[in-house]
């Protein structure tokens, strides 16, 4: 079937020639491009190239046509698309390529994908302010930007062909990268007009296709990275090998925040194959030709650590301190509406706790760094390439323009690879040797050395009317702040970290008086905290939706019907709830199974701009084992670019959230992380995975996030299902299975 794209029935749009600058190098032509406020396509305001442009042009081989930061077309007709957001399993490359290819007028089988080099000037997305893959922003941030990029390139290519033929642009169309003029039966490939296209005016407002003209958007297309990941040709950070490279294994303090006091490396240096021992303030590295020799060398080290006061840190103390801070700490108000509302009659109160969480990515932390006198090269899989550049610059003392970062596929990010610590460590080691260093952490180090999602304490109070519906609602969150640690400059002046209350301030329900506040309680500095999949909503939807369930139970109402009654002014949320309930068959009686208590739970909320509902059915054994039987998710995430990707994200995100709720707690005792590997930092296995059905509400609004909402909605749906099955109300995550076993014999409400 021929796929066609018709050029808009209009002459070229106005050109902003005052903002266009060309970069000429080695006979090639590259047009620098950036995206200004409102995602409008405008050329650089400065007449001089931006940092990194020259290197980018050289690395591109000076393609004949490079109208913006994302598209490269050679005279041979080759089409290369540069991806601003990195691929870490979420389907980002296929989604971004779809947006570009749709407007460019080519199909996905015609393009080659490339990792973007580090450049905030070229690849910072407006929604984030930096080159940063996170926050489920890939498609929602690139929706306008990349379609405009493709439209700019198409307009210039078609303009070049029309100029050569001396015909109006409106008489030309594009079919799979070939420009056609039907009246004269003439054709030109993109490659044939690439050089001429580079001299075409840049359209200030490119005309985009209508939704009715989409050939790719909205279709279930296969992922572009499947083949390379299947045959092993895809290169992840841990796969990188460069000439002369040695592998480094490291010893890290068993107690968080420990420093190296003394090292005896005589036994290590006696091991055949060990090349060097590098002693730094917080670690000791051993290099060798392979990882296992380096690891053997690390195991032979005799290290005395200085733990300071960190050996006294414990999870039990942290939990108690959070509870105390919730009672007595200073609260910052994030939202307070309907303050004059007269309270209802009955008051209902509950407290919830969420444990510290690790990321547990499949690919352990790693980086390859080569440090020379005047430049540094870094090979790494990172969500934040420009942050890596800045970090390595601090370590080596070289300016950022002397540091090249080559991004790779990421074997799981979930927020962990928003950090630059392994690149910093590899750079620090490489400074002391004469060869490139490949640093690889062990799985145990990956667990213990994580930047953890901090623990939370939540106190909720509601007054309800005669029918049991909330009239007033107060939610107090107590936690540390990830934002200030990660980017202090972005912390609001009033000191309120917005992430801590995300998912709590905008419930989908009609509540007359709503107050949400945050009490800051800092963890010991030795405990590193960071972003975790789902961020604020992944914490807040658990207490919010669990508490809604408690109110429904107190009112003697069905959980779905109770929520539906509170959604009268929110038709989009109601549509999501109704879709999930219908597909699940909520009104059908619960199946009875011998030896299992069966229950189902529902949860509804907003995350990353997406309305999401999950219904989970569980069976609980007499031993307190929770068996996941079935799950249904429904989402309104705006225009769906690739249904395959959305389905995969709804399924994978739900599994990630269910895993955390069942087994995800990370604990400290005597300053040490008690978990070490997948045997005690559990991930869900295939036999434990329920049947998951994923649905979306049809929509034509701009896309919203989809990778993180299912992770955020899974824990409350699970907790509510456990209550329905056993009468045990789960207010602490992860679920205490032993307590569940001892208390599930009775259907009276019990709290764990």
109: in domain: yes
Q: Which residue has the tokens 């305001």?
A: 45
> Are residues 371 and 498 located together in one domain of the fold?
no
Dihedral (Cα; 614, 617, 620, 626), 10-degree rounding: -40
- Does 4 score more than 80 pLDDT? no
- Does 12 score more than 70 pLDDT? no
Using a 10 angstrom Cβ sphere, with 0-12 exposed, 13-18 middle and 19 or more buried, the burial of residue 37 is exposed
Which own/partner contact pairs does 373-376 have at CB distance under 8 Å and 24+ positions apart? 374/398, 374/402, 375/402, 375/403, 375/404, 376/402, 376/403, 376/404, 376/427, 376/430
396: in domain: yes
Q: Which residue has the tokens 């290590």?
A: 268
Mean pLDDT within 496-511:
97
pTM of the model: 0.91
What is the chain's mean pLDDT, rounded? 91
| Of 164, 198, 227, the domain-final residue | 227
- Cβ pair 143, 702 in contact under 8 A: yes
Planar angle of CA 488, 132, 99, nearest 5 degrees = 150
Nearest in space to 139 (alpha carbons), one of 632, 649, 575 = 649
Q: Which residue has the higher pLDDT, 122 or 192?
A: 192
447: in domain: no
- Does 66 score more than 90 pLDDT? no
> Are residues 241 and 371 located together in one domain of the fold?
yes
What residues make up the domain containing 511? Answer: 456-751
> Are residues 543 and 416 located together in one domain of the fold?
no
> Are residues 485 and 608 located together in one domain of the fold?
yes
> Are residues 468 and 399 located together in one domain of the fold?
no
pLDDT in tens, 204-215: 889 999 999 999
Helices (H), 117-245: 120-123, 138-165, 190-197, 226-231
pLDDT in tens, 40-49: 332 322 222 3
- Does 651 score more than 50 pLDDT? yes
Task: Check which CATH number belongs to the domain holding 79 and give it.
Answer: 3.30.365.10
pLDDT in tens, 434-491: 999 999 999 999 999 999 999 999 999 999 999 999 999 999 999 999 999 999 999 9
pLDDT in tens, 333-345: 999 999 888 888 8
What does the alpha-carbon distance between residue 752 and residue 743 come to, in Å, rounded to a whole number?
Answer: 9
449: in domain: no
Radius of gyration of the chain (CA): 28
> Are residues 664 and 728 located together in one domain of the fold?
yes
| Of 198, 227, 256, the domain-final residue | 227
Nearest in space to 250 (alpha carbons), one of 301, 296, 285 = 285
DSSP 650-697: HHHHHHHHHHHHHH-B--EETTEES--STTTS----GGGPPEEEEEE-
pLDDT of residue 28: 29
> Are residues 98 and 244 located together in one domain of the fold?
no
pLDDT in tens, 394-440: 999 999 999 999 999 999 999 999 999 999 999 999 999 999 999 99
Residues in the chain: 752
518: in domain: yes
- Does 18 score more than 60 pLDDT? no
pLDDT of residue 59: 57
> Are residues 708 and 630 located together in one domain of the fold?
yes
> Are residues 466 and 495 located together in one domain of the fold?
yes
319: in domain: no
18 in helix, strand or coil? Answer: helix
| Of 390, 411, 440, the domain-final residue | 440
> What domain count does the chain have?
3
314: in domain: no
Token pair belonging to 374: 């005047």
Cα torsion angle, 358, 363, 364, 369, sign? negative
- Cβ pair 431, 395 in contact under 8 A: yes
> Are residues 435 and 584 located together in one domain of the fold?
no
> Are residues 43 and 180 located together in one domain of the fold?
yes
| Residue 745 pLDDT level (bands cut at 50, 70, 90) | low
Helices (H), 270-403: 291-299, 315-328, 385-396
> Are residues 244 and 208 located together in one domain of the fold?
no
321: in domain: no
């Amino acid at each position: 079937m021929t796929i066609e794209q018709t050029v808009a029935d209009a002459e070229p749009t106005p050109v902003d020639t005052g903002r266009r600058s060309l970069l000429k190098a080695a006979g090639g032509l590259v047009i620098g491009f950036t995206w200004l406020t409102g995602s409008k396509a405008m050329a650089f305001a400065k007449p001089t190239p931006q940092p990194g442009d020259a290197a980018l042009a050289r690395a591109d081989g000076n393609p004949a046509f490079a109208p913006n930061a994302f598209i490269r077309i050679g005279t041979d007709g080759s089409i290369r698309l540069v991806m601003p957001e990195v691929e870490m399993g979420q389907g980002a490359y296929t989604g971004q390529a779809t947006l570009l290819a749709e407007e460019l007028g080519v199909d996905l089988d015609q393009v080659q994908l490339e990792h973007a080099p580090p450049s905030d000037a070229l690849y910072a997305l407006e929604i984030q302010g930096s080159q940063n893959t996170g926050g489920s922003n890939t498609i929602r941030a690139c929706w306008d930007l990349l379609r405009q990029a493709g439209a700019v390139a198409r307009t210039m290519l078609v303009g070049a062909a029309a100029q050569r033929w001396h015909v109006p642009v409106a008489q030309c169309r594009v079919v799979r990268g070939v420009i056609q003029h039907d009246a004269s039966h003439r054709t030109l490939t993109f490659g044939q007009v690439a050089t001429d296209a580079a001299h075409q005016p840049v359209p200030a407002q490119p005309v985009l296709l209508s939704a009715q003209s989409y050939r790719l958007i909205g279709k279930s297309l296969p992922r572009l990275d499947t083949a390379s990941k299947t045959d092993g040709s895809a290169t992840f950070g841990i796969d990188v090998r460069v000439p002369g490279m040695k592998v480094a294994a490291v010893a890290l303090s068993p107690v968080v925040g420990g420093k190296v006091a003394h090292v005896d490396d005589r036994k290590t240096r006696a091991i055949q194959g060990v090349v060097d021992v590098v002693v730094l303030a917080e670690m000791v590295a051993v290099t060798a030709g392979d990882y296992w020799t380096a690891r053997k060398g690390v195991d032979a080290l005799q290290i005395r650590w200085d733990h300071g006061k960190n050996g006294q840190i414990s999870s039990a103390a942290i939990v108690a301190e959070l509870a105390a801070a919730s009672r007595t700490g200073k609260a910052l108000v994030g939202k307070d509406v309907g303050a004059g509302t007269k309270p209802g009659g009955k008051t209902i109160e509950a407290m919830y706790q969420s444990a510290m969480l690790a990321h547990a990515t499949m690919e352990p932390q790693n980086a390859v760094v080569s440090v020379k006198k005047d430049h540094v090269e870094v090979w790494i899989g990172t969500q934040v390439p420009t942050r890596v550049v800045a970090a390595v610059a601090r370590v080596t003392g070289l300016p950022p323009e002397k540091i090249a970062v080559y991004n790779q596929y990421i074997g799981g990010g979930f927020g962990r690879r928003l950090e630059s610590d392994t690149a910093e460590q590899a750079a620090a080691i490489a400074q002391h040797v004469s060869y490139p260093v490949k640093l690889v952490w062990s799985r145990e180090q990956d667990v213990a050395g994580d930047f953890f999602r901090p623990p939370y304490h939540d106190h909720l109070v509601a007054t309800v009317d005669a029918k049991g519906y909330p009239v007033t609602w107060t939610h107090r969150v107590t936690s540390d702040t990830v934002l200030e640690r990660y980017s202090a400059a972005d912390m609001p002046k009033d000191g309120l970290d917005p992430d801590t209350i995300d998912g709590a301030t905008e419930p989908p329900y009609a509540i007359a008086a709503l107050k949400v506040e945050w009490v800051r309680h800092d963890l010991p500095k030795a405990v590193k905290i960071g972003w975790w999949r789902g961020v604020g909503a992944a914490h807040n939807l658990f207490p919010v939706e669990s508490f809604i369930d408690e109110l429904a139970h107190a009112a003697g109402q069905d959980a779905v019907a109770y929520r539906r009654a509170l959604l009268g002014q929110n038709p989009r949320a109601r549509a999501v709830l109704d879709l999930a309930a219908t597909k699940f068959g909520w009104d059908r009686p619960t199946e009875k199974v011998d030896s299992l208590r069966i229950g189902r739970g529902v949860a509804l909320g907003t995350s990353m701009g997406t309305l999401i509902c999950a219904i989970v059915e569980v069976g609980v054994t007499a031993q307190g084992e929770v068996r996941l039987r079935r799950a249904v998710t429904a989402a309104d995430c705006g225009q769906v670019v690739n249904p395959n990707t959305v389905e995969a994200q709804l399924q994978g995100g739900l599994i990630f959230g269910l895993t955390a709720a069942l087994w995800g707690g990370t604990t400290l005792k005597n300053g040490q992380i008690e978990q070490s590997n997948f045997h005690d930092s559990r991930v869900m296995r295939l036999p434990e995975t329920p049947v998951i059905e994923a649905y979306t509400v049809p929509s034509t609004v701009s896309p919203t996030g989809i990778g993180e909402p299912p992770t955020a909605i899974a824990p409350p749906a699970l907790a509510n299902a456990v209550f329905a099955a056993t009468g045990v109300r789960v207010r602490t995550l992860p679920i205490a299975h032993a307590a569940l076993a001892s208390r599930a014999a009775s259907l009276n409400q019990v709290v764990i």
